[in-house]
């Protein structure tokens, strides 16, 4: 546990010390400019045969886990009527799945592969080499209302080229973080597979907002920012999935006046035993992870830099 906290602590110190300036390279490597629409990011995934039946498999992150997660099971009831599903065959075999809900930040996940965007998200499930058909697969979708950050969750069950929406219980809120000036307001919930999701609403005053993965090799993986349709605020989604690493970190950066602000989301997992679950995130011990939400700020350099 201490080693894990050290990893995340080092990241936190680096961010707090460097402020927004530490994130300059990410902007050069494809960070989203102000007002960009990161909608409909498509990530390829290969379905596994028989996956619609709960089983255990080892994912890209090296951990054996059931899919779909036991905590994201089918429940009785109806999917909200404004949630729609499109399933289209792919050239070469497979199916493209798109879930739409207008006015929401929609996320779609298949094991280690995720997509998210405003109004809709899509994943392509390509037929595995040598397979005669796409087989079966289960995706987990979430839709977050952009003003309230209320989230509903469900499943997409894919069988060949056909797919259907299935309701699931909505996630329970956990840790939260509010800015005294209400420029950012963040909530969190468990993703059902041992990880966490953090959602933050950023006010109009939050300029040059970015979201970044500070512990992974891909700086934009698991980090999205979308605009409210009229541009009155933005919503960021940070995914911190359970993996073989002991810690995961994501961050949101923005400028307010002459201040640079960093909102940090950090998770540490331990090998077991009783432990701190983090603010508002439950009480089942270190194996379930400890989530920390925190913010730091500093005045940014202005005027003549001396160079």
**Domain map of the chain by residue range?**
84-167, 173-269
Model confidence pLDDT, tens digit, residues 218-247 = 888 999 999 998 889 999 999 999 887 889
Considering only residues 119 and 297, tell me which one the structure prediction assigns the higher pLDDT: 119
Q: What was the pLDDT predicted at 287?
A: 60
Please tell me the predicted confidence (pLDDT) of residue 9: 45
End-to-end CA separation in angstroms for the chain: 44
Q: 64 or 15, which is more confident?
A: 64
* 28 band by pLDDT with thresholds 50, 70 and 90: very low
Whether 194 shows a pLDDT value over 80: the answer reads: yes
pLDDT at 132: 56
| 271 vs 293 pLDDT, higher one | 293
Angstrom CA distances, 176 to 148, 200, 239, stand at 13, 9, 15
Q: How confident is the model at residue 65 (pLDDT cuts 50, 70, 90)?
A: low
- Could you say which architecture CATH assigns to the domain 84-167? Sandwich (2.60)
- Alpha carbons 274 and 285: distance in angstroms, whole number: 4
Query: In sequence order, what are the residues at sequence separation of 6 or more whose Cβ sits closer than 8 angstroms to the Cβ of residue 217?
Result: none
84-167 with 173-269: one CATH topology?
yes
Mean pLDDT of the 239-261 span: 90
CATH code reported for the domain at 173-269: 2.60.40
Taking 70 as the threshold, does the pLDDT of residue 275 lie above it? Answer: no
Helix ranges, the chain (H): 2-18, 24-28
- pLDDT above 70 (res 69): yes
């Amino acid at each position: 546990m201490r080693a894990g906290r050290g990893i995340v602590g080092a990241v936190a110190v680096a961010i707090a010390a460097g402020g927004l300036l530490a994130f300059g390279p990410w902007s050069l490597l494809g960070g989203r400019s102000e007002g960009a629409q990161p909608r409909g990011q498509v990530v390829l995934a290969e379905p596994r045969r028989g996956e619609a039946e709960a089983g255990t498999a080892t994912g890209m992150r090296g951990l054996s886990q059931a899919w779909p997660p036991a905590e994201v099971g089918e429940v009785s009831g109806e999917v909200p009527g404004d949630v729609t599903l499109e399933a289209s065959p792919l050239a070469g075999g497979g199916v493209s799945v798109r879930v739409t809900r207008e006015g929401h930040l929609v996320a779609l996940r298949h094991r280690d592969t995720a997509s998210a965007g405003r109004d809709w998200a899509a994943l392509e499930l390509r037929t595995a080499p040598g397979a005669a058909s796409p087989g079966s697969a289960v995706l987990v979708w979430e839709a977050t209302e952009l003003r309230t950050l209320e989230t509903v969750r469900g499943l997409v069950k894919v069988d060949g080229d056909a797919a259907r929406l299935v309701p699931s219980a909505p996630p329970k809120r956990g840790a939260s973080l509010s800015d005294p000036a209400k420029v950012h307001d963040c909530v969190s919930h468990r993703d059902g597979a041992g990880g966490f999701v953090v959602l933050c609403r950023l006010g109009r005053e939050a300029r040059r907002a970015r979201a970044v993965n500070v512990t992974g090799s891909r700086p934009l993986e698991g980090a999205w920012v979308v605009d409210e349709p009229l541009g009155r605020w933005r919503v960021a989604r940070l995914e911190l999935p359970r993996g073989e690493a002991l810690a995961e970190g994501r961050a949101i950066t923005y400028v307010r006046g002459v201040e640079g602000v960093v909102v940090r989301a950090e998770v540490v997992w331990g090998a077991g035993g009783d432990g701190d679950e983090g603010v508002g995130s439950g009480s089942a011990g270190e194996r379930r992870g400890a989530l920390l939400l925190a913010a730091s700020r500093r005045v940014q350099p202005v005027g003549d830099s001396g160079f």
